[in-house]
Structure 1
Amino acid sequence: MAHAQHPDPNIYYVPPSSKWPVIASLAMFVTMLGVASWINEIAWGKPVFFIGLAGVLAVLYKWFGDVIRESLAGFYNRQVDVSFRMGMVWFIFSEVMFFAAFFGALFFVRQFALPWLNGEGDGVATHALLWPNFAAGWPTNGPADIGGAFQTVPAWGLPLLNTLILLSSGVTITIAHHALKAGKRGVLLTFLGLTIALGALFLYFQGTEYIHAYRELNLTLGSGIYGSTFFMLTGFHGAHVTLGTLMLIVIWLRCWFGHFSKDHHFGFEAVAWYWHFVDVVWLGLFLFVYVL
């Protein structure tokens, strides 16, 4: 919570000690204990997971509420604003590295592992003793009679539609940002609301795509290296879109309550940065997962 005295704009604000980090750690531990137990079919795993998840959400609500109140009270001067911006930049950089690891796994398999298994380079087909009928090609999950035959998701169907949806959402959030800086509250709320709707529509179509892949294409997480990389990359991206959409909803509510001004609205900017990052990652996914 903010101190009671009036903030000094020339002093870097340091918040008092908080109980939320400890409570958040405990809630996350309970959540992970619950999900691990649930996966292993332990009876109490499912309720423990939801109890932990509720605790995490409650901590987020209270902790962010404290930060918002401190911001509205004027405790965050320009120095603090710079710190927030640096923190968000490093957070997005960590997310870049997160996805780089999965893209790296995809590229390694396609450019090195498969040719090596096929005997390219050393002239020795290293798969011969295990899978005599193996042929290096992409997509692959080994011989069809072992890994199970599957079909890929056509790039020019739902994936293309979702690409257009996310690109459109990047435009709408940019318009909303300009409206905020221009003091046009109605335009701000309208285009920010459109961005939220587009994010939700993307998630709906991705869910539809997953159902189609499992039911009609026999493409699952068990479909070898292609299935695992496909669902890991698109699934984690979908999780980020979900988080981004929730963040946009919070920002829309804050805009509705008038928490931002023309000159002080980093909370909005941080979410906009994150959303543009999600857009860029999807373009890479569309190209390297669906098209190539």
Structure 2
Amino acid sequence: MAEAHAKNHDYHIIDPSPWPFTASVGALLMALGGVGWMQGLKGNEFGLLGIPLNNAWLFVVGLAVVLYTMFGWWSDTIKEGREGHHTRVVSLHLRYGMIMFIASEVMFFVAWFWAFFDASLFPGEVVQVARTEYTGGQWPPAGIEVLDPWHLPLYNTVILLLSGTTVTWAHHALLHNDRKGLVSGLVFTVALGVLFSFVQAYEYMHAPFAFADSIYGATFYMATGFHGFHVFIGTIFLLVCLIRAMKGDFTPKQHFGFEAAAWYWHFVDVVWLFLFATIYVWASAGATIATGH
């Protein structure tokens, strides 16, 4: 009888899980709460079934549900890996999933680069409304002082490039079963990620233009701000890997959690290089550089 039920394939049939449902509920609450919150910031009324939603509470509740779902779902995935369910086929499919996720992130950033280049390459084009009204017929728009690309942005470029080398060091250490090198590499990578975020926050606080000042400010903050958010998420991702590594998780043959974090971090690095080369360096050519920034 036991032989009749023996597993003779490399696939893993998971147990019934509540996480897809809770994730959907959390996402719905975040969407409704986000709309209501933004409407409230504009002074508008927004509600559903007579319940006022023009505040941040529903969004916060939805975010809490999503974060709890992420913790529970990924904890289950880690447990399944420890129990030996991540076979060769399952591991391959996990990698495919991460690759598709990063591809979707690439297209997300393509949208912001598209917006930036559409405004910067054709500043005098007449569309539904005169674009010259927003740009002054030039890029950067008339009256805008830009950040010096060879100051804080260059520092952050060096920081991210260094973090790319330290996470690679950690990866190679893991492949050679060097636990000390793995932990050290992750510590340096997390520290560099935190340093990057602090430098960018300082840059934002001292930037000579605001989000609502011009289309330059809008495209600048949307592109660099979302990248900064991805650095924050990647830092947490690597911090979790560091905690797991210190607990003895990951082996040279089974370490997809760390590998996914490393892929994500390298993606963040590459996006920053494009941001630095275009939004900071190329867009500042011939522009007025703000002194002291």
TM-score by structure 1 length? 0.85
CA distance in 1, matches of 2:264, 2:8: 28
CA distance in 2, matches of 1:229, 1:202: 20
Q: Which runs of 5+ in 2 are unaligned?
A: 46-51, 283-293
Question: Could you tell me whether the CA contact under 8 Å between 1:180 and 1:188 is conserved in 2?
Answer: yes
Partner of 1:87: 97
Asked whether the 8 Å contact 1:155–1:291 carries over to 2, the reply is: yes
% identity of equivalent residues: 43
Aligned to 2:36: 37
2:173 & 2:80 partners in 1: Cα distance?
25
Q: Matched residues in 2 for 1:193 and 1:283: separation?
A: 23
Is 263-272 or 34-43 further displaced after alignment?
Answer: 34-43
Tell me which residue corresponds to 2:123. 114
In structure 2, which of residues 176, 192, 202 is the aligned counterpart of residue 198 of structure 1? 192
Separation (CA, whole Å) in 2 of partners of 1:134 and 1:248: 41
The corresponding residue for 1:137 is 138
* SS, match of residue 37 in structure 1: helix
TM-fit CA distance, 1:212: 0.6
Matched letter for residue 100 of structure 1? V
1: distance between equivalents of 2:213 and 2:135? Answer: 15
The root-mean-square deviation of aligned C-alpha atoms, in Å, is: 2.4
The residue identity in structure 2 corresponding to 1:34 is G
1:59 pairs with 2:69: yes
Greater shift, 27-36 or 81-90, is seen at 27-36
Are residues 1:49 and 2:59 paired?
A: yes
Q: Which has the higher contact order (CA 8 A, sep 6+)?
A: 2
2:110 paired with 1:100: yes
Once the two structures are superposed, residues 179-198 of structure 1 have per-residue CA deviations (whole angstroms, 9 ceiling, x without a partner) of 11111111111110110010
In the alignment, which residue of structure 1 is the partner of 2:272? 282
- Conserved in 2, the CA contact under 8 Å of 1:9 and 1:77? no
Equivalent of 2:181, from 187, 201, 219? 187
How many equivalent residue pairs?
266
Q: Structure 1 stretches of 5 or more lacking a match?
A: 1-5, 119-125
Residue pairs, 1:199-278, within 5 angstroms: 199-213=193-207, 217=208, 219-278=209-268
Q: Equivalent residue for 1:173? A: 167
For normalisation by structure 2, the TM-score amounts to: 0.84
SS at the partner of 1:116?
A: coil
Aligned with 2:85 (options 66, 72, 75)? 75
Alpha-carbon distance between aligned partners in 2 of 1:57 and 1:7, rounded to the nearest angstrom:
37
